Structure 1
């Protein structure tokens, strides 16, 4: 076997920039972002109407803009948690099999570009577009709140908002990696999109019902032993965290609600001496969400690695 020459990531920047430019000009990206902007504008308008009377009474007023809901619209973070996977799937479901169907894969790899750079460039290009969209959306929301409420955000609110953006980027990156994995495994873009959407529906909508059922099977409750009830609840909580949606929800809960002091089961003995309702500083909130945050990063890396291995094993013909 001939040893390849040069860096395996030669041409990475060119592929990433080309992918980002294609996504920016694509009609599907425009439609998805229009949907996100419309839903975000509705939820933010409702939230500002709810919290306008609390100006001067809440030290984290800007964070309430992201988490406050007004019926029938949910909060901004609820909309974002629902739509970010759709953006990731829309950007990656035909990243690899689209090249096969257009018969351009062999032409690309005939250039001084290795498979490593091609796959990584496509992933980074999609992640860059998601990052640009999130920053733009966050600035628009902050601007709307600033104009309407007439108060600037504090330094801690800005820091928590940026941490929220970073968590949202990695959450979308998980679903981008999932869609690229299915794009690598299936030659039909329709099949890869359907597989990614099916997994998203299972982990987002149905996993909250599956986890308690699995926990009851793993650790049944003994009516004569109350500790088994605690064990089953812990199992249900741990199984629920296998879903990226649960990890993301817990992360933004601690970041955007500084009063959150725990993300698991809390017993009365643990509340002794605690000042309930007192907000945690940012560094303590960061320690609280570190397992969830690192879990999102690990899930993104693991799924991308599986896609990388599958892509390296594929035979490419002219």
Structure 2
């Protein structure tokens, strides 16, 4: 009887050994992403930005709910049937709408999560020990970027679900499929917008050794594009304009197109144009229209696909800017000599 027992015992032990050998160890990239995500969630800077964004969201939602009846009852508004989109775009002037708040606070969130992503590791001496492990440098940068982007994605998705649930409880109206698609597209656009500033802040954290220098530089860039860039563009374009008595209608249209093209070099302008088109289905163009183009047009909401085609250049611009920043980050980090 010992022979069969020994035989089956040997098969059982071989099966366990085979299963243990088949289990692959967890990749270093996933470990680093999990570690970065946990560090961001537990950091005070993220807590402060979370409180600011949630408070602005609740304030905008409160103003929208107080004025939703007037917005829905306006028969001249072709978007009045989209109740949940009105929750994100309705305001009485006391507070801006939520996407305007995100265009201002979104860059600060990306800056807070990435301005010391690399130089803080190097100043603390942990970057040398990390690179000494069997970890690729590109995986380290990707983990820094993906960990922060996961936190941002969960934050915006939770806000969208909170808005949808609150709207269902208060209004008692179920969202239409087109509204759900537009809200999800707005969430993806907001994540992409914050991701651009996150990649730019990581780039400066690689470029500068001091975290304070990288923070001041990225905040200066944000202030330039948010405040001063529009003023400079308006001054330059107005200086190029001839007198009002010498302007033709075609010249005025070309100058308006030039002004819009220059303004769209700013990431905030790209985000605002795309968010407005997605949340307001009646928007048919992001540029000036002639009387001939508007002749015979019926004010009605556009399908989601056509609105997405209108904002595709803006989305492509944000994607390209994010890719360029991350490529420069990779180039600088790969050429850096890391010593103790």
The 5 A counterparts of 1:58-207 are 58-207=80-229
What CA deviation, in whole Å up to 9, does each residue of 1:131-161 have, x standing for no partner?
Answer: 0111011111112222111111111000000
Conservation of the 8 A alpha-carbon contact between 2:225 and 2:268: yes
Among 67, 70, 77, which residue is 1:50 paired with?
67
Residue 20 of structure 1, aligned match among 8, 32, 37: 37
Question: What's the CA shift for 1:206?
Answer: 2.2
Residue in 2 aligned with 1:34? Answer: 51
* 1:214 CA drift (Å): 3.1
Runs of 4+ in 1 over 4 A off after TM superposition: 53-57
Query: 1:170 touches 1:296 (CA, 8 Å); kept in 2?
Result: yes
CA distance in 2, matches of 1:25, 1:290: 36
Equivalent residue number for residue 273 of structure 1:
296
**By how many angstroms is 1:54 displaced?**
5.1
Any unmatched runs of 5+ in structure 2? 1-26
* 2: CA distance, partners of 1:285 / 1:79: 22
User: Is 2:286 aligned against 1:263?
Assistant: yes
Match of 1:152, SS?
Answer: coil
Q: Distance in 1 between matches of 2:41 and 2:185?
A: 25
For 1:306 and 1:15, locate their aligned partners in 2 and report how far apart those are by CA, in whole Å. Answer: 21
For 1:60 and 1:205, the matched residues in 2 are separated by 32
Shift of 1:252: 0.7
More helix by share: 2
TM-score normalised by L of structure 2: 0.86
CA distance in 1, matches of 2:97, 2:329: 34
Q: Deviations over 1:218-271 (max 9, x none)?
A: x54365342433332221110100011001000011100000000011111111
2:246 counterpart SS class: coil
Normalising by structure 1, we get a TM-score of 0.92
C-alpha RMSD of the superposition: 1.6
Range with greater deviation from structure 2 (90-99 or 302-311): 302-311
Deviation at residue 201 of structure 1 after TM alignment = 1.1
How far the C-alpha of 1:55 sits from its partner, in A, is 5.3
Write the deviation string for residues 139-195 of structure 1: whole angstroms up to 9, x where unpaired: 111122221111111110000000000110100000001111111111111111111
Contact 1:97 1:184 in 2 (8 A): yes
Contact 2:71 2:90 in 1 (8 A): no
Q: Are the counterparts in 1 of residues 107 and 222 from structure 2 also a CA contact under 8 Å?
A: yes
Verify the 8 A CA contact 1:69 1:76 in the aligned structure 2.
no
Q: Report whether the alignment pairs 1:237 with 2:263.
A: no
Q: 5+ unaligned residues in a row in structure 1: which ranges? A: 1-9
